Structure 1
Amino acid sequence: MAGSAQRPLLFLDVDGPLIPFGAAPDTYRSFATGPDELGDDANPLLGRIDPAHGPRLLALPCDLVWATTWMADANDCIAPRIGLPRLAVVVWPEPSAVDPQDEWHGLHWKTRTLVSRAEGRPFAWVDDEVTDTDRAWVVAHHPGPALLHRVDPRVGLTDADYAVLDSWLHRQVGGDSS
């Protein structure tokens, strides 16, 4: 297997992939979220995070990076709930630094930053807002392989999503996905 420097990146959003939303509230399971010091009362949606995501994410052959507006708070509020170590965090540009033409043309405000952060490394981006415009832009501007994987925010990451990620990531590191 390739060393850590060659492993693909997995840019992970929180709202949608890990915290499902948008369906009827009574359709969501609630999970025990851990010790009281994790601030369970701060955000009631945190109870929707399935703790099984942590081991599944850690089993993927990649370097995990938070790519969420939660930014560093993801390490304090999300990671302990699902058994993840502290992860690297994408720092987003100030809204005034985002090209207003991007939104006009349908490019997500995260796309340019993620391509820049990847620095040519293969990467997967897991988000509920990925579009074909983002995919086309990445193909045109990123020299390495990239998987922009849209997750249905009403259900969050599923077995099928993990299968797609696992297969794609294993191909990048030269292994099989069995």
Structure 2
Amino acid sequence: MRGMGLPLLYLDVDGPLIPFGGPAGWHVEHLTGRRVREVVGRAAEGHPLLGRLDPRVGARLAGLRCRPVWATTWEHEANVCVAPLLGLPPWPVLEEPDGAAPAGLPPGVHWKAPLVVGHAGGAAFAWVDDEIGTADREWVAARHPGPALLLRVDPRTGLTDEDLTALEEWLRVPV
């Protein structure tokens, strides 16, 4: 599929998996604090938003035909705190560069863009994040020779059924 095996999936946590909320009074809690502690134990301390993870999203992610990679500031903590609550195995982690964002990026290009493109090495990928913008799309299109889907998720709602369906459909299309 797509010439280099299964496509890669780069997934952010804050926003796509842990929604920040919508209008005043909006709140969603899929997992009780007790359930969070049962699954991840002491690792849950200091992460009050883990209850916003929706285990149904984990099941959908587990069914995707791709090579998943965490692309989040949670880095390896995503495998400790997030993956178990979603019913996912540990995934590889796209690690942040030490210090500041990569030098020389045009305004509006997210610091993850060059990391994702470099890690993909020309392979097809989908990048799911709540901070993707036009500048990222243009930057990736100019520098990545393979197919790429940059899926911006509304951070107020997180990944929706529509987002996941679009991702599933894109991952199914051979190039």
Structures share a fold, TM > 0.5? yes
Secondary structure of 2:55's counterpart equals: coil
TM-score w.r.t. length of structure 2: 0.89
The answer on 1:68 being equivalent to 2:54 is no
The answer on 1:164 being equivalent to 2:166 is yes
**Alignment deviations for residues 86-109 of structure 1 (CA, whole Å, 9 cap, x no partner):** 00000111234611x42x521111
Q: Is the 8 A contact 2:21 2:27 kept in 1?
A: no
**Alignment deviations for residues 34-89 of structure 1 (CA, whole Å, 9 cap, x no partner):** 41616444211110000111110011111111000000000000000010000000
| Match of residue 89 from structure 2 | 85
In 2, the alpha carbon distance for the partners of 1:151 and 1:63 equals 20
What amino acid is the match of 2:146?
G
| Match of residue 151 from structure 1 | 153
Q: Is the 8 A contact 1:20 1:153 kept in 2?
A: yes
| Match of residue 7 from structure 1 | 6
Question: Unmatched 5+ residue regions in structure 1?
Answer: none
Secondary structure of 1:30's counterpart equals: coil
Secondary structure of 1:155's counterpart equals: coil
* Aligned Cα root-mean-square deviation (Å): 1.9
| Match of residue 48 from structure 2 | 44
Relative to structure 1, the CA distance from residue 97 to residue 7 in structure 2 (aligned partners, 3 Å threshold; closer, same or farther) is: same
In 1, the alpha carbon distance for the partners of 2:95 and 2:24 equals 31
1:145, distance to aligned residue in structure 2 (A):
0.1
Report percent identity of matched pairs: 49
In 2, the alpha carbon distance for the partners of 1:51 and 1:97 equals 32
| Match of residue 114 from structure 1 | 116
In 1, the alpha carbon distance for the partners of 2:89 and 2:42 equals 15
Aligned residue pair count: 169
TM-score w.r.t. length of structure 1: 0.88
In 2, the alpha carbon distance for the partners of 1:25 and 1:74 equals 28
Secondary structure of 1:162's counterpart equals: helix
1:20, distance to aligned residue in structure 2 (A):
0.4
1:25, distance to aligned residue in structure 2 (A):
6.6
What amino acid is the match of 1:80?
P
